[in-house]
């Protein structure tokens, strides 16, 4: 079960004859269409082979084109060029796919160690580039095969990549950050991909305790009695139809007294829709309705391992939404932790209900910033597709900071509206608020619902990650959880505490 490819950084002039070569591996250089390979920085023998390959008949550097040659050297026997297409058409998603394709091709051809040189471009040398590229390479061979029978034969696969950069020493810090994000992403993917017969609320709480123990975080797990004592009526209601009772986990990292940041992640370990049951088609994908909780647990790990100087509190409300004799019903009125009452019109709008309790509890601690992550609505996927997430926040400053962090991290994020009409549409008939508000603008009214539970916290944001959090049956790529949101949040947190990569 391979989880991560080892990535290191070096300069091109140290390749060949210095002990930093791949010892039987492959040097691969990316080349833009109609441009020569960037060979000048390499030792003469390597540079000559690169130039010779670039002059071969038919070589244009078109996207996906490949040409390979021998060097006659024992330490670096093969050199290859791979086309990246037109320079002005490269974007962050295309580069990520290119890196993944290169890693897969190297593994397919039995290359254990790859030396990779990328041409100069804003996406290969700009803010956050090293962290982003290192993360994408490190994750390129990820597979979730925990529940598959092993053949006993070890698969030949890519184990290490040496990334060539003009200033390797300056890139070291970014490399380390990128690899920690990759490790946290693996944690998040593994948790999210675990099937619902295993990943119950109790199991998730145990995993959270293990992360806390391994990385020096404080941990508190609220059980049914604790939830009742604290008036967490929303989380209790959603979880009461399941034989697996709900939990609410809080982890705390005390790297500094300030800033104080709270992150909340939706953890519906399986979502049938409850009494308002979902259609059977693709219901298996509802094991990924816990992706928000898995994301913030991964973030707790990354922040602790990076030792970021801030106080970080992580909240994961965990419940299984099942139909049964004890299930909450359409028409029920629930009293939430902050005292508001919620009139239930649809039990499949359960995520916002469990988040309301957790966000209200988090807001009581008076954090400087409160961010929430959830696979909340199909409406957001209709609006933005599976490529990016929607972010809702009343703070222009926080919006710009998160959008900038997402750009540097290579994750798509788009600001969505929090107009007052959405909040007004949720006024209850017999309770304070309703949990749904009709057909139109469902992602927006869901965000408006959450705004009732942020207390006095002015700098708060809701991220609807329903589209990019996992790749389902119709998505492109490896089916499963993606770990979306970890990279952009670490970029934002590092900027917040003065370790920004953005210029």
CA distances from 69 to 12, 44, 73 (A): 18, 16, 11
Which residues are paired to 271 by β-bridges?
A: 321
- Distance CA(347)–CA(331), nearest Å, equals 9
Q: Which residues in 299-309 are b (16+ Cβ under 10 Å) and which e?
A: bbbbbbbbebe
- Distance CA(469)–CA(389), nearest Å, equals 9
DSSP state of 14: G
CA distances from 271 to 12, 239, 279, 318, 444 (A): 51, 10, 11, 11, 21
- Distance CA(467)–CA(428), nearest Å, equals 29
Q: Which helix (H) or strand (E) holds 212?
A: helix 201-215
Edge-to-edge strand list for the sheet holding 341-343:
333-335, 341-343, 433-434
- Show the CA angle centred on residue 276, arms to residues 284 and 420, nearest 5°: 105
* Active-site hit among 132, 250, 266, 352: 352
Q: Token digits for 341?
A: 């009452």
- Distance CA(121)–CA(119), nearest Å, equals 6
Residue matched to tokens 């078109």: 62
- Distance CA(128)–CA(124), nearest Å, equals 9
- Distance CA(53)–CA(56), nearest Å, equals 5
Task: Map residue 32 onto helix, strand or coil.
Answer: coil
Classify burial at 249, counting beta carbons within 10 Å of its beta carbon; exposed 0-12, middle 13-18, buried 19 or more. Answer: buried
Task: Map residue 343 onto helix, strand or coil.
Answer: strand
Tabulate helix, strand, coil % of the chain (nearest 5).
40, 20, 45
* Active-site hit among 278, 335, 415, 479: 278
- Distance CA(349)–CA(434), nearest Å, equals 10
Asked if 423 is an active-site residue, the reply is no
Asked if 278 is an active-site residue, the reply is yes
- Distance CA(303)–CA(309), nearest Å, equals 9
The answer to whether 295 and 188 are in contact (CB under 8 A) is yes
The answer to whether 168 and 10 are in contact (CB under 8 A) is yes
Q: Which helix (H) or strand (E) holds 327?
A: none
Residues carrying an active site annotation? 278, 352
């Amino acid at each position: 079960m391979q989880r991560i490819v080892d990535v290191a950084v070096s300069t091109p002039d140290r390749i060949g004859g210095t002990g930093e070569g791949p010892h039987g591996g492959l040097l691969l250089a990316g080349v833009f269409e109609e441009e020569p390979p960037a060979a000048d920085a390499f030792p003469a023998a390597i540079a000559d082979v690169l130039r010779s390959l670039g002059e071969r008949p038919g070589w244009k550097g078109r996207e996906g084109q490949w040409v390979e040659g021998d060097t006659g050297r024992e330490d670096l026997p093969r050199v290859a060029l791979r086309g990246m297409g037109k320079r002005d058409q490269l974007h962050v998603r295309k580069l990520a796919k290119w890196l993944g394709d290169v890693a897969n091709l190297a593994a397919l051809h039995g290359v254990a160690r790859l030396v990779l040189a990328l041409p100069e471009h804003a996406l290969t040398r700009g803010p956050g580039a090293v962290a982003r590229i290192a993360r994408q390479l490190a994750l390129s061979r990820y597979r979730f095969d925990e529940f598959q029978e092993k053949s006993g034969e070890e698969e030949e696969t890519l184990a290490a990549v040496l990334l060539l950069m003009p200033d390797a020493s300056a890139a070291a810090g970014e490399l380390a950050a990128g690899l920690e994000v990759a490790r946290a992403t693996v944690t998040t993917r593994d948790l999210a991909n675990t099937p619902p017969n295993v990943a119950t609320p109790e199991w998730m709480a145990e995993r959270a305790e293990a992360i806390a123990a391994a990385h020096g975080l404080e941990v508190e797990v609220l059980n049914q009695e604790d939830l009742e004592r604290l008036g967490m009526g929303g989380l209790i209601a959603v979880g009461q139809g399941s034989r697996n009772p709900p939990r609410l986990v809080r982890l705390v990292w005390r790297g500094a007294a300030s800033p104080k940041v709270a992150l909340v992640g939706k953890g519906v370990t399986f979502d049938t829709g409850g009494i308002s049951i979902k259609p059977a088609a693709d219901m298996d994908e509802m094991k990924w309705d816990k992706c928000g909780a898995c994301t913030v647990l991964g973030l707790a790990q990354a922040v602790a391992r990076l030792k970021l100087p801030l106080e970080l509190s992580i909240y994961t409300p965990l419940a299984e939404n099942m139909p049964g004799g004890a299930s909450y019903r359409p028409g029920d009125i629930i009293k939430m932790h902050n005292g508001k009452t919620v009139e239930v019109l649809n039990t499949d709008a359960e995520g916002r209900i469990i988040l309301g309790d957790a966000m209200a509890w988090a807001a009581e601690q008076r954090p400087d910033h409160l961010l929430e992550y959830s696979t909340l609505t199909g409406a957001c996927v209709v609006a933005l597709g599976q490529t990016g997430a929607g972010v809702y926040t009343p703070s222009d400053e926080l919006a710009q900071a998160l959008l900038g962090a997402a750009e540097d991290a290579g994750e798509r994020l788009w600001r969505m509206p929090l107009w007052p009409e959405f909040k007004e549409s949720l006024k209850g008939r017999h309770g304070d608020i309703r949990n749904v508000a009709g057909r139109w603008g469902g992602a927006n009214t869901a965000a408006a619902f959450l705004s009732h539970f942020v207390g006095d916290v002015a700098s708060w944001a809701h991220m609807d990650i329903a589209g990019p959090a996992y790749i389902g049956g119709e998505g492109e790529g490896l089916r499963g959880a993606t770990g979306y949101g970890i990279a952009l949040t670490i970029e934002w947190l590092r900027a917040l505490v003065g370790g920004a990569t953005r210029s």
